Amino acid sequence: MPNEFFIYRAALVKELKANNYKIKMTKLSTLAADSWSQEPPIIKSAYRKLARETERQYLNA
């Protein structure tokens, strides 16, 4: 099950692809980690909520 950072990283990948950015996965992981560390608590909380909802759906499937 994905955690909040994994969901955040996936959203970042989707956004970068939509804007035609081409970046190596190793650099993407570093970019995502740096970006995540700078996000305000409200953003991190929203991704935690998404992760909990995803887990709940998985467990109820």
- Please give the average per-residue pLDDT across 37-60, as a whole number: 95
- Please give the average per-residue pLDDT across 21-26, as a whole number: 90
pTM, entire model? 0.86
The token pair at 50 is 């998404």
Q: 34 — phi, psi (to 5°)?
A: -65, -45
Work out the pLDDT band at 53, boundaries 50, 70, 90: very high
Q: Exposure string (b/e) for 8-39, b if CB count within 10 Å is 16 or more?
A: bbeebeeeeeeeeeeeeeeeeeeebeeebeee
Per-residue pLDDT, 2: 87
